[in-house]
Structure 1
Amino acid sequence: MNERAHHRPMTPGGDFFEALVGGADPAVVSEAAERAATLLVRGARESDDAAVADRLLHLADTEGIETIAEVWSGAPADSLAGCLWRLYLLRSWVYADPLEVAREFEAGRRSAQVARVVAGVAEPPGPEQLKTMVDQVLSGIAGSDFADVLLRAAAFARVVATGRATLSDPTGAEVQRMLVLSEQLESAGHAELEHELA
């Protein structure tokens, strides 16, 4: 029987560890998410290119809401990244279930008159009208005041929350989630008006 020579194991250099793909540093991910959000919101407003607004509008369609969630879903509600996550989430929900959204909005618009007007939904508020409204709101990221975008989205979410409360148990989790979303977007909109949203 031949005896194998034992060799000392190879010691990988520093480059070996740098090349390994592992869990990303949460601080680095957070910083990158905020930087991307700032470029999207602040950079888009400085561009007159209509294609920029269109790309922003369809970001969730082209990249997937899961990808956006991976980047922005953990961001605080009072940050640009957190605002973008909530706006894209709202749009994805409207597109995923426009009939139910229309039903909830219709139920809420009688009670939430001011919010209904601020949201700017065409009458009658059918599924297609709601898709158009949410697209107009998101298109505003590039073309108008970001505070207006946030306040319109907040008003829309408030009308839907009101509608959910009339159609179901007002203490239900779904009602509360939509109400919290509305309050977060509204608070962020006011922060943007005060130039405090970063």
Structure 2
Amino acid sequence: MTSDFPRPVFRPSGTFDRLFASEDPAEVSRAAHQTAATLLARVRAEEDPEVVDRLIRFASTHGIDDIAQLWSRSPAKTLPGTLWRLYLVQASIHADAALAALLYERGRAALHTGDAIIAGAPTPVSPPELVALIDTILRGAFTGDLAIALDRTAAFCRVEASGATHLADDAEATEPERATTLTTRALRLSSIADDLDVAARLWRRDELI
């Protein structure tokens, strides 16, 4: 790497390094993949609960921008792109847990699939319980089976997407702008769910890099 683009190093006691001083796509991609792989390997090797706790709280403490700086440009079906999506889902719930719980409950009631069981939220779910759920899933991504964490997050996103779709339908006649916002959210959640499903399959084949 060039001298103005240092090798990425994860420092658990600080914040993520701001890595993308260079705009060279190859260097950006290389840094994203290296940080994602190094982070996951180091956390699993150290098994330090304090390090894991700091990772779980990172987006809520520092905001999502530092994580975006690392991984948001990576394709969906890569390790950095996958970790970005996990943090993005977590950040959306922390930002408005009440809305997330409303969407989840509406989606759970409407869906006739096993997604709510896979996601693992209590029934009914409160906003604090939903925050605890996504934090637990993210913890599992770092310390347990990543594929299972991805399966659970994908299922969660499908439940939320269903809830957003049904609430959008309810609001269409009287609150068209809110309906549009909810429809957009549903589409994004569905897209993330699809990406995470693929990522889980790739991880199980040792092909998520």
1:45 lines up with 2:56 in the alignment: no
Structure 2 residues not aligned, in runs of 5+: 5-20, 170-178
Inter-partner Cα distance in structure 2 for 1:78 and 1:43: 21
> SS at 2:124's partner residue?
coil
Inter-partner Cα distance in structure 1 for 2:61 and 2:128: 21
1:67 lines up with 2:78 in the alignment: no
Q: 1:187 aligns with which of 198, 204, 209?
A: 198
* Aligned-pair identity (%): 37
**2:60·2:94 contact (CA, 8 Å) conserved in 1?**
no
Residue 47 of structure 1 and its aligned partner are, at CA, apart by: 2.3
> SS at 2:75's partner residue?
coil
1:117 lines up with 2:128 in the alignment: no
Question: Over aligned residues, Cα RMSD in angstroms?
Answer: 1.9
Structure 1 residues not aligned, in runs of 5+: 1-17
Q: Which amino acid aligns with 1:85?
A: W
Aligned length: 179
1:174 lines up with 2:173 in the alignment: no
Q: Which amino acid aligns with 2:152?
A: R
Residue 45 of structure 1 and its aligned partner are, at CA, apart by: 1.8
Q: Which runs of structure 2 are paired with 1:1-198 in the superposition (5 Å)?
A: 23-110=22-109, 111-169=111-169, 172-198=183-209
Residue 30 of structure 1 and its aligned partner are, at CA, apart by: 1.5
After superposition, give the CA deviation of every residue in 1:145-183 in whole Å (9 maximum; x if it has no partner): 111111111110010011111111499322211100111
Q: Name the larger-Rg structure.
A: 1
* 4+ aligned runs moved over 3 Å, structure 1: none
Inter-partner Cα distance in structure 2 for 1:47 and 1:165: 42
After superposition, give the CA deviation of every residue in 1:103-143 in whole Å (9 maximum; x if it has no partner): 10000112154010110112221101100000001111222
After superposition, give the CA deviation of every residue in 1:66-125 in whole Å (9 maximum; x if it has no partner): 111122111011111001110111111000011110010000112154010110112221
Inter-partner Cα distance in structure 1 for 2:92 and 2:202: 25
After superposition, give the CA deviation of every residue in 1:49-77 in whole Å (9 maximum; x if it has no partner): 11121122122234431111122111011
